[in-house]
Amino acid sequence: MLKKNAKIALAVVLFFSLKDLLLGGEIQWVNTLVFGIIIFLLYFLWDWAKEPYDWSKHKR
């Protein structure tokens, strides 16, 4: 789960870095990295929320 989310976030960071480099000539690292971290956290929470809770785990 973490590898998939990290790959997606890394792809987003690389995409925006290359876009900034090709179009503007200067990469805005803070914006790009913060956006990558936000994407990572959103995908991580999305994957975490998709897994159902095992209610029988606490029954004895």
CA atoms within 13 A on the CB side of 42: 9
Between 60 and 52, name the one with better pLDDT.
52
* Spatial distance between the Cα atoms of 53 and 60, rounded to a whole number of angstroms: 16
Per-residue pLDDT at 60: 59
What's the pTM? 0.73
Query: What would the pLDDT profile of 3-43 be if each residue is shown by its tens digit?
Result: 888 888 899 999 989 998 898 888 888 988 999 999 999 99
The mean pLDDT of 48-54, rounded to a whole number, is 82
